[in-house]
């Protein structure tokens, strides 16, 4: 069975109840417990950081409430381990004519997917570069 890592915007859609931007097949798989889905704790930090900067609630509740809600859907939460940080460090910041990707949260999530050999589900326009040049397994959604 394939294992999937949900990008932060997918997590926000699930936690906020705004599931319109999540493809029906992914949403149905999650709601019917048909796949192995995970999020990185880095996504929790990213949401908290954005809410603190913008002084706006993107997702209500606490991180513990988010974790409990995800556990109801059998979505696991992966820690940022030494192996993930090591991969984050060795991948560096890609800078080429094709792309410049400096967002540390995105790169931590990508490193998590690479370390755990998971397919990342995202609509981020920079992620296909990682698929092409770093062998990231990606389910790109628009």
Please name the residues in contact with 7: beta carbons below 8 A apart, sequence gap of 6 or more. Answer: 43, 106, 109, 120, 121, 122, 123, 124, 127
- For residue 137, pLDDT over 80 is answered with yes
**Is residue 4 assigned to a domain?**
no
- 3 located within any domain: no
Q: Is residue 6 part of a domain?
A: no
Q: What is the pLDDT of residues 16-62, one digit of tens each?
A: 888 777 878 787 788 777 779 999 999 999 999 999 888 777 889 99
Q: Residue 84 — very low, low, confident or very high, per pLDDT cuts 50/70/90? A: very high
Q: How many domains does the chain fold into?
A: 1
Q: What is the CATH number of the domain that holds 39?
A: 3.40.50.1010
Contact criterion met (CB below 8 Å) for 136 and 119: no
User: What distance in Å separates the CA atoms of residue 91 and residue 50, rounded to the nearest whole number?
Assistant: 24
Q: What is the pTM of this model?
A: 0.88
Q: Is 92 helix (H, G, I), strand (E, B) or coil?
A: coil
| Chain-centroid distance, C-alpha 109 | 6
pLDDT tens digits for 36-47?
A: 999 999 999 999
Report yes or no on 8 lying in a domain. no
User: Domain range spanning residue 56?
Assistant: 15-140
How far are the Cα atoms of 21, 22, 31, 101 from residue 45, in angstroms, in the given order? 21, 21, 24, 19
């Amino acid at each position: 069975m394939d294992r999937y890592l949900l990008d932060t915007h997918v997590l926000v859609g699930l936690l906020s109840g705004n599931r319109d931007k999540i493809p029906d097949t992914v949403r149905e798989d999650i709601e019917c417990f048909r796949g192995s889905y995970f999020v990185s704790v880095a996504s929790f930090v990213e949401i908290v950081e954005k809410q603190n900067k913008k002084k706006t609630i993107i997702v209500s509740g606490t991180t513990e409430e988010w974790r409990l809600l995800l556990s109801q859907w059998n979505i696991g939460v992966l820690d940022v381990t030494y192996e993930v940080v090591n991969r984050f460090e060795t991948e560096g910041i890609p800078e080429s004519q094709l792309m410049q990707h400096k967002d540390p949260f995105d790169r931590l999530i990508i490193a998590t997917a690479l370390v755990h050999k998971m397919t990342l589900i995202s609509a981020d326009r920079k992620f296909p570069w990682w698929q092409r040049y770093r062998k990231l397994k990606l389910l790109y959604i628009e």
